[in-house]
Amino acid sequence: MGTVEWLKHWLFTTDHKQVGLLYFFTSLYFGIVGAVLALLMRVQLSVPNNNFLEAAYYNQAVTMHGLIMIFWFLSPLGIALFNYFVPLQIGAKDLAFPRLNALTYWLFLAGGLMAVFSFFVPGGSAAAGWTSYEPLAGPLYSPGPGPTLTYLGLMLMAASVTVGSVNFVATIFWLRKPGLKLMDMPMFTWFALFTILAMLFAFPSIIAAFLLVLTDRLIGTVLYAPPSVLGVPGIDPSLLWDDLFWFFGHPEVYIVLLPAFGVIANVTPAFTGRPLAGKSWILWSTAAIVLPISFGVWMHHMFLTGIPSILQEVFDASTEVISIPFGIIVIMFVLSMVKGRIQFKTPFLFVVGALVLFTIGGVMGVFLSSPVLDRVFNGSYFVVSHFHYVMVGATIFGLFAGIYYWLPKMTGKMYSEKLGKLHFAVSFIGFNVLYAPMMLLSDMPRRIFTYQNIGDWAQLNGIATIGAFIFAGAQMIVAYNLLHTWFRGAPAGPNPWGSPDLEWSSPAGSPQAPAPELEPVGGWIGQLSPAPPAAQAAAPPAAASYPAAGHALHLSSRPLTLSAGVMLFLTGAALYPGLFPLALMAVGVAIAAYSLVAWAWDDIRDRFKGPAEEADGNRWPFDAVPKMKVGMWAFLSSEIVLFGTLLGAYIFIREAALSWPSPSSIHDIPLATANTLVLVSSGFTMAMAVHAIRKGDQRGLLAWLAATFVLGSTFIGVKMSEWVGLISGPTPFIPGSANPVTALAASVYYVIVGLHGAHVIAGLIILVYLMARTARGGYTKESHMTIENFALYWAFVEIVWCFVFPLFYLL
């Protein structure tokens, strides 16, 4: 197959296995970047008073190490496995929305490229720690385009995750093969479900938090402005950031961890020769306790911020409570070894390693749950040790178990067991040499680029650095092993582990995989490597080359171009002012707009054919609910958290501020009220539109859609004139106002009302598409799901306004 075809194949694919492989290799790349940053830091810290890496560079390294490892390595590695194996495990042909899936990959890559690129702009990248505390991360103390680029890249990743979680929710609930009940799903898919549900509800909070950072940096709002600059009595921007960030931040660490637990739960039975102990206890523990309570422990990151003692006690208690289900889960895993017939293959070694390291890290977490003990540990290397034990120890070792376990499936070849065991041994030793000394460094602050020669800091740091290089060196072993397997591995056979799970049931994936002539033996990677002669002879003749047509592989260039356009636009925005950035922005908008229109046109022409759905697949508990509606509700629930977090921030600010301008002194309330009535009426017309098409009345549908469009546009038009009025005049209501309270009030007003307006405008654009499709007779009485789903979205936008209007105009 020619290079051009090969390129098109990989750049435009929407097939879940290939997207999974793209995620896999890209996350490994970012993992290497993060590891290099870590090694640079460890070299700098190996001896006291070192000057290998100056403070400014060190701070960039520590910040980007954290961000890249968490957002562009650990989670995407889990997502890679989700992409590849969740559909196989439930017997689905692909994810529910294949093009959206490809989009999540390209957005992830775009965001990561922006983050890496930020190193090379004047001033360097973000340097305020991955926790990006304000006001340090704001425009005053971290000036320059670098941090902006980093944070914009992070927003792309967050958008990617949100779209992806909607996709997986719809897939897991809707595309299971007939007879596969939820309780029968393999453990990995269960943990995938838990992870994505957590992502759905957690990521909007980080989007909200960073949205405010970005408006501060890009358009001059003062939401996190320090008191030395703004000085609104009572206002505490640092605490606002703390709350918004950690509300996301804590569930995030479980989001990172759960895929590894899913691997452990899935992989263990294959090597113990007995079923998992207490499978339902594990599931209930995770679902009923870890997930909900993970959203109720975040203030244990804020014990030292001066919150009232009672709150410290409450969050101490909630954090301790959350360790109980983890205890249950770990003990169930231990019990799963009892009375088994255990084979010490590489995946299993990594499982055991992960459990040991998680236990150590988890116990350290209990220490940190105490506000009193935290007075010593906060901001010290004890914390660094704790989270690396769970994030690297448990998560990476767990994911390695999965990689080794599924490598035969992905490549059709078997890895070298000896090298695998060596990799495990050296990794385990290196890991502990690196992180155990840090447990003793509870008086050494984090994120310092150098230290004086006091106590045993020099020795402990030196040992840790040695451990870092051993640990990094161990990864050379697995890299070699992977490459060796790819090119020279022995064929693995269809099910080397004898697992009953669905993904092994044929050499080329599940029975519902694309037809055999499209799926080469050994998976797609196997096709690229020289196959051993025996396997090749057994392969169907047509498997010798990739399928020719794009149709069967569901190729689409739109996800790639859309992501590229958005990336160019945001990069330009970060680098602005200048002619070149402006050009970037223009080109980016053009490409993105073209992609969106082309995507929609593809739909109007029904050009993209995703895999057909099972007619009677198992869909409990959404039996009566169509796939797109599940997707839409998942999306809306994340939007609820997004707007809710922003409105919550607003309420927090209002509560804290000692004085606030009264709405009647700023806004034209009768006008706003009239505008509200306009929006409310548009909700009514939209409901009538749905009513019309349910009766099969296409002309009525078009009429009501048009009415909705007119009313929506009026709303926006009136709002724009309202804003013109606000920003002109003798005392303009703008973030740049001389009066600090006005500046703050204006900042929060424009961000929230603006975000709502953007949602309205997006709705109007979609309305145009809907009207175009209706005019061509695209919707009938039987098939008009899109209209119903859009009505849900429009109603949601109205609900948001139900709260925004009184909060900003009346109270």
Partner 1 sequence: MYSGALSATPPTVATWTFLFHWYLVFGATAAAVVIGALLYAVVRYRMRRGKAAPLDHKPTGWKVVLAIIVIMGVVLAGAGYQTFAAFSNINIPNGPGTVTIKVTGFQWGWNFTYPDGKYDVGILTVPVDKIVILNITSKDVYHAFGIAMLDVKEDAIPGKVNQLWFNMTETGTYVDAIRCYQLCGIGHAYMIGNLTVVSQAAWNATYGGTGG
Partner 2 sequence: MLTAVVAEVITFYSVASPDAQIAVISTLATSQAVAVAVFYMQLKDEPGSIRLFALVGVMFLAALLIAMVASLG
299, 474, 513, 751: residue in contact with partner 2 (rule CB under 8 A): 299
Binding mask of the shown chain, residues 744 to 783, with x at each position contacting partner 2 by CB under 8 A: ----------------------------------------
Residue with smaller CB distance to partner 2, 310 or 612: 310
- Give me 438's structure tokens: 């840090």
The answer to the question of residue 43 lying near partner 1 (CB under 8 A) is no
Candidate list 1, 311, 324, 490; residue touching partner 1; CB under 8 A: 324
- Residue (255 or 329) nearer to partner 1, CB: 329
Tokens of 696: 């099969």
Residue 669, binding choice from partner 1, partner 2, none, Cβ under 5 to 8 Å by partner class:
partner 2
Residue 744 contacts residue 232 (beta carbons within 8 Å): yes
The pattern of x and - marking residues 507 through 546 that bind partner 1 according to CB under 8 A reads: ----------------------------------------
Of the pair 224, 809, the CB lying nearest partner 1 is at 224
Residue 317, interface with partner 2 (CB under 8 A)?
A: no
Residue closer to partner 2 by CB (options 479, 802) is 802
Q: Determine if 662 is a binding residue for partner 1 (CB under 8 A).
A: no
Beta bridge pairs of residue 445: 380
Among 4, 51, 372, 579, binds partner 1 (CB under 8 A): 372
Tell me how far CA of residue 133 lies from CA of 12, 136, 237, 514, 750, in angstroms.
39, 6, 10, 48, 23
686 binds, among partner 2, partner 1, none (CB under 5 to 8 A by kind): partner 2
Tokens for 150? 């980093």
Q: Does position 331 bind partner 1 by CB under 8 A?
A: yes
Q: Is 288 in the site for partner 1 (CB under 8 A)?
A: no
Binding test (CB under 8 A) with partner 1, winner from 8, 177, 421, 447: 447
In the complex, the smallest distance separating the C-beta of residue 192 from partner 2, rounded to whole angstroms, is: 18
Nearer to partner 1, 451 or 723 (CB): 451
112, 135, 164, 740: which one binds partner 1 (CB under 8 A): 135
The letter for the amino acid at 710 is: V
Rounded least distance, CB 758 to partner 1, Å: 31
275-297 burial, b at 16+ Cβ within 10 Å, e below that, comes to ebbbbebbbebbeebbbebbbbb
Instruction: 372-380: list long-range contacts, CB under 8 Å, 24+ apart.
Output: 374/300, 374/303, 374/304, 375/303, 375/304, 376/442, 376/443, 377/442, 378/303, 378/304, 379/445, 379/446, 380/441, 380/442, 380/443, 380/444, 380/445, 380/446
- For the beta carbon of residue 699, count every other beta carbon within 10 angstroms: 10
Note whether 98 binds partner 2 by CB under 8 A. no
Q: Which two tokens stand for residue 153?
A: 């890249």
Structure tokens at 763: 């709705």
- The residue to which tokens 């993060």 are assigned: 34
431 contacts partner 2 (rule: CB under 8 A) = no
**184 counts as binding partner 1 under rule CB under 8 A:** no
Classify burial at 302, counting beta carbons within 10 Å of its beta carbon; exposed 0-12, middle 13-18, buried 19 or more: buried
d(Cα 610, Cα 325) in Å, to the nearest integer? 40
Q: List the x/- string, 583-622, binding to partner 2 by CB under 8 A.
A: --------------------------------------xx
How far apart (Å, rounded) are the C-alpha atoms in residues 387 and 385?
6
The CB-of-621 to partner 1 minimum distance in angstroms stands at 24
Instruction: Pick from 15, 134, 252, 519 the residue near partner 1 by CB under 8 A.
Output: 134
Which of partner 2, partner 1, none interacts with 644 (beta carbon under 5 to 8 A by kind)? partner 2
DSSP annotation of 508 reads T
55 binds, among partner 2, partner 1, none (CB under 5 to 8 A by kind): partner 1
Burial 441-467 (b: 16+ CB within 10 A, else e): bbebeebebbbeeeeebbebbbbbbbb
Residue 95 near residue 16 (C-beta atoms within 8 A): yes
For residue 210, the number of C-alpha atoms closer than 13 Å in the C-beta half-sphere is: 23
Question: What HEC string does 292-330 produce?
Answer: HHHCCCHHHHCHHHCCCHHHHHHHHHHHHHHHHHHHHHH
Q: Is 652 in the site for partner 2 (CB under 8 A)?
A: yes
Instruction: Name the residue nearer to partner 1 (CB basis): 133 or 660.
Output: 133
By the rule CB under 8 A, 50 interacts with partner 1: no
Q: Which of 207, 196, 199 lies closest to 170, judged by CA?
A: 196
Q: Which does 534 bind (CB under 5 to 8 A by kind): partner 2, partner 1, none?
A: none
Residues 6 or more apart whose CB falls under 8 angstroms from that of 280 comprise 183
**Which one of residues 645, 742, 774, 786 is an interface residue with partner 2 (CB under 8 A)?**
645
Say whether residue 496 binds partner 1 (CB under 8 A): no
313 binds, options partner 1, partner 2, none, Cβ within 5 to 8 A by partner type: partner 1
- At its nearest, how many Å lie between partner 2 and the CB of residue 798? 6
Interface of this chain with partner 1, residues 338 to 367, rule: CB under 8 A: 338-344, 352, 355-356, 359-360, 363-364, 366-367
Identity of the residue numbered 222: V
Contacts of residue 239, defined as CB under 8 A and 6 or more positions apart, other chains included, come to 302, 305
Q: Is 658 in the site for partner 1 (CB under 8 A)?
A: no
Four-CA torsion 173, 175, 178, 179, nearest 10 degrees: -30
Residue of the chain from 226, 296, 550, 644 that contacts partner 1 (CB under 8 A) = 226
Q: How far apart are CA 260 and CA 254, in angstroms?
A: 10
Distance CA 444, CA 455 (A): 10
How many binding residues for partner 2 (CB under 8 A)?
58
Residue 490 β-bridge partners = 414
Segment 190 to 209, residues that bind partner 2, using CB under 8 A? 201, 205
Of 52-60, 79-87, 524-532, 568-576, the window that binds partner 1 (rule: CB under 8 A) is 52-60
- Backbone Cα Rg of the chain: 27
Token pair, residue 95, equals 């994810």
Q: Which residues sit at the interface with partner 2, rule CB under 8 A?
A: 201, 205, 239, 243, 247, 295-296, 299, 302, 305, 307-308, 310-311, 621-625, 629-630, 633-634, 636-638, 640-641, 644-645, 648, 651-652, 655-656, 669, 673, 676-677, 680-681, 683-684, 686-687, 791-792, 795-796, 798-799, 802-803, 805-807, 810-811
